[in-house]
Amino acid sequence: MINVFLTGASGNVGGAIIRTIQTTEGFKLAGGWCRETGEDLGTLAGIEPLGIKAASGLGEGLSASKPDVVIDFSATPLLEGNMKAYLNAGLNAVIGTTGLTDEQLEPFKKEVAAKGLRWAVIPNYGLGITLVSEFIKSARKYYPFVTITDQHPNEMCNAPSGTAGALAQAASGAPLGEVTSRETYPGVLGGKIHGVQVFSQRLPWPGPYSGHEITLARKDEIIRVEVQDYTSDIYMDGVFLTAGKIAGFPAGSFLRSLSEVM
């Protein structure tokens, strides 16, 4: 049995995780933390009360529930503090919260190695995006031009999405075609991540909608791939696959893509 502590227990993804744990053999909810301290985690997830209350603080929750693994789908501003708490508690972690750069994650990667823990810090646990990323990696050597557009609700706290950043990384493995246009208004050519043009659309789509469009091009040919995700349930296969396998990875593992788990 894998005992799970869930950070961000009342969120879109957190709720889906609580509901999925109830129907997934081999997993048990040990505790959780979110803004709604003291409230029942089942009630917060829209199911029957589970008799487990949201902890009053992350540190208190971790030491009281003694989990095997922590799953974190919370919020960017909390993440560095949360990760320090997981290191202090010596826990393996499956982290979905996005918004930190590779540079910000680097010290944590070193600490995970030093402590012999196993962490997955994966910007997208969806099967669709993971499979499309693999396609982009193999297609890019033939298609020098690429742009990525991410679509999220306007209240999303970070732009671009962590997924757009990861797609840009996946697309950065071959020389890029030259765009010679000069911007007459700043920003119209998008931001550059690893040299790849990335555009973030923030509009009042009903949350938790998430869309990613990848356009690849070579002379006379354009490929456009779009992944649209309508609920947080689509992450559950990837999250539970990772949470189930994480303890079996070598000590010091710091996984950055669901492909490394699949």
Ligand X SMILES: NC(=O)c1ccc[n+]([C@@H]2O[C@H](COP(=O)([O-])OP(=O)(O)OC[C@H]3O[C@@H](n4cnc5c(N)ncnc54)[C@H](O)[C@@H]3O)[C@@H](O)[C@H]2O)c1
Q: How many residues bind ligand X (CB under 6 A)?
A: 25
65 binds ligand X (CB under 6 A): no
Which range touches ligand X (CB under 6 A), out of 91-99, 112-120, 177-185, 194-202?
A: 91-99
**242 lies in the binding site for ligand X (CB under 6 A):** no
Alpha helices, H only, 140-192: 162-170
82: left (phi over 0), alpha (psi -120 to 50) or beta: alpha
Nearer to ligand X, 31 or 126 (CB): 126
**Identified binder of ligand X from the candidate list 47, 78, 176, 262, rule CB under 6 A:** 78
Residue number, 12 or 24, with CB nearest to ligand X: 12
**Smallest distance from ligand X to CB 113, Å:** 22
* Minimum separation from the CB atom of position 114 to ligand X (A): 25
Binding range to ligand X, per CB under 6 A, among 94-102, 133-141, 215-223, 249-257:
94-102
CA proximity to 137, closest of 191, 101, 174, 179 = 174
- Closest to ligand X by CB, 242 vs 253, is 242
Near ligand X by CB under 6 A: residue from 21, 70, 71, 75: 75
The verdict on 98 binding ligand X (CB under 6 A) reads yes
Edge-to-edge order in the sheet of strand 196-203: 191-193, 196-203, 145-153, 210-218, 221-229
Rounded distance between C-alpha atoms, residue 20 and residue 247, angstroms: 20
Residue 170 is a binding residue for ligand X (CB under 6 A): no
Does residue 76 interact with ligand X by CB under 6 A?
yes
CB 163 within 8 A of CB 124: yes
**Please, what's the b/e burial string for 182-200 (b: 16 or more CB within 10 A of its CB; e: otherwise)?**
eeeeeeeebbebeebbbbb
Contact 244, 2 (CB under 8 A): yes
Indicate the residue among 143 and 227 with the shorter CB distance to ligand X: 227
Pattern of binders to ligand X over 18-57, x per CB under 6 A?
----------------xx----------------------
Task: Assess contact for 63 and 85: CB atoms under 8 A.
Answer: no
123 sits near ligand X (criterion: CB under 6 A): yes
Report the greatest alpha carbon distance in the chain. 61
- 188 residue type, one letter: V
Reference 95, options 114, 115, 112; nearest CA is 112
User: Does 96 contact ligand X by CB under 6 A?
Assistant: yes
Q: Give SS3 for 79.
A: helix
- Residue 151 in contact with ligand X, rule: CB under 6 A: no
Q: Which is nearer to ligand X, 119 or 235 (CB)?
A: 235
13 near ligand X, rule: CB under 6 A: yes
By CB under 6 A, is residue 92 in contact with ligand X? no
DSSP-derived letter for residue 260 is G
Summarize as ranges the residues that interact with ligand X (CB under 6 A). 8-14, 34-35, 73-76, 78, 96-99, 122-126, 208, 235
